[in-house]
Amino acid sequence: MPTKENKVVVNSWNEWDPLKHVIVGRADNCHIPPPEPALDGKVPEDSDMRGQWGKRPQETIDKGNELLDNFATMLEGRGLRVDRPIPTDFSLPVTTPDFSTESQFGCMPPRDVLLTVGSEILEATMSYRCRWFEYLSYRPLLKHYWEEDPNFRHESAPKPRLTDADYHSDYLSDKIGEQKRLEWTARKFFVTTEEEPLFDAADVLRFGKDLVVQHGFTTNLKGIEWLRRHFSDHRVHAVNFPGDPYPIHIDATFTPIKPGLILNNPKRPLPAEQRKLFTQNNWEIVDAAPPAHNSPPALCYSSVWLSMNVLVLDPKTVCVEKSEVYQAEQLDKLGMEVIEVELRDAYAFGGGLHCCTADVYREGKCEDYFSKQ
């Protein structure tokens, strides 16, 4: 019997071991934030969100919450412990000595903010001003884990200044065009500069001893170096995906399913040099199936590739969004049991099934999957 002294609440080393305890986000009071440099760099040039900000329509919030609640109930029905964030007031401005922005965002995607590595949960620096205080919605949960689990390490990365020096002004235009964006991202010229360490937790994939981190709009090289120094028992690898004109977060681009198998977005292939780590250790990188939709839902930041944003429950079981029939079919053929989860009407609040969750406990230990480096 676990006693208070030895109770383990927080433990998760990878993206696929059996999931037992998870945080599922909420759509409450979600806002479209006002323009700011990093956000302007990311909102697609043809997006319906350009030029508008403020609280999202309540009926869309209610619908999003209904789907998130159903997802949480389904997971509980499978025996998982599910916790939910406590939303703060996202209509409030974020003001620091260095910057001010008139509203915040929300707490639907805990994956962006919280990085669980073993017995640690690390709050990311974040790179948008509107997301500077987002960790507060998770603090009541983390406080509770800290009291329950004597080995839980609650960490917070240095809060960034987020002055204008953090952003390349070239990205401020909404008329850059896809061609130029692709040229820029191919030569790793992203919206964020190297002024100070920046990372979002959703740029990190956990493979036991190895952490794979996307260098892009939301994570810079100093952010990756900070992670390397912080997780000194791990090997930290920087990757980038030149086919993505808006590279934020790795989880609609590169999706590990189980040991030895990764889906890669065919429009954003991992460069040959960076594939070696995986292929020389006998991991297969498979092109993901195409998305079922031609465009994202209304007022959504993310691309149609949220089709790949799946949540693995264990190495044989995966949650896939209900309308993503091609992705479901592919995973079924790859031998996975597929659980359909309706979530598309919640995408606009911050992403798909992987985004809207954060691991607290998966069974298993830290293993070395890439002994040949």
364 token code pair: 């298993």
- Does position 356 interact with ligand DAV (CB under 6 A)? The reply is no
- Does position 305 interact with ligand DAV (CB under 6 A)? The reply is yes
| Interatomic CA distance for residues 331 and 318, integer angstroms | 8
**β-strand 284-287 against 261-264: which pairing, if any?**
parallel
In the complex with ligand DAV, which residue's Cβ is closer, 9 or 205? 205
Phi and psi torsions of 252, nearest 5°: -125, 20
Q: Return the residues of window 46-85 that contact ligand DAV according to CB under 6 A.
A: none
> Is 355 annotated in the active site?
yes
**β-strand 100-101 against 94-95: which pairing, if any?**
antiparallel
Alpha-helical segments (H) within 50-200 = 58-77, 110-113, 139-148, 178-186
| Interatomic CA distance for residues 4 and 358, integer angstroms | 24
> Is 200 annotated in the active site?
yes
- Does position 359 interact with ligand DAV (CB under 6 A)? The reply is no
CB atoms within 10 A of CB 357: 25
**β-strand 19-24 against 357-362: which pairing, if any?**
antiparallel
Site string for ligand DAV, 194-233 (x = CB under 6 A): --------x-------------------------------
Which one from 17, 249, 251, 359 is the annotated catalytic residue?
249
- Does position 249 interact with ligand DAV (CB under 6 A)? The reply is yes
355 token code pair: 């985004």
Which one from 200, 203, 251, 359 is the annotated catalytic residue?
200
| Interatomic CA distance for residues 316 and 332, integer angstroms | 10
- Does position 88 interact with ligand DAV (CB under 6 A)? The reply is no
From candidates 68, 310, 346, 355, binder to ligand DAV by CB under 6 A: 355
The span of 6-14, 176-184, 249-257, 358-366 binding ligand DAV (CB under 6 A) equals 249-257
Count the residues of the shown chain that bind ligand DAV, applying the rule CB under 6 A. 10
Residues contributing to the site for ligand DAV (CB under 6 A): 202, 248-249, 251-252, 302-303, 305, 351, 355
Q: Which residues are catalytic?
A: 200, 249, 355
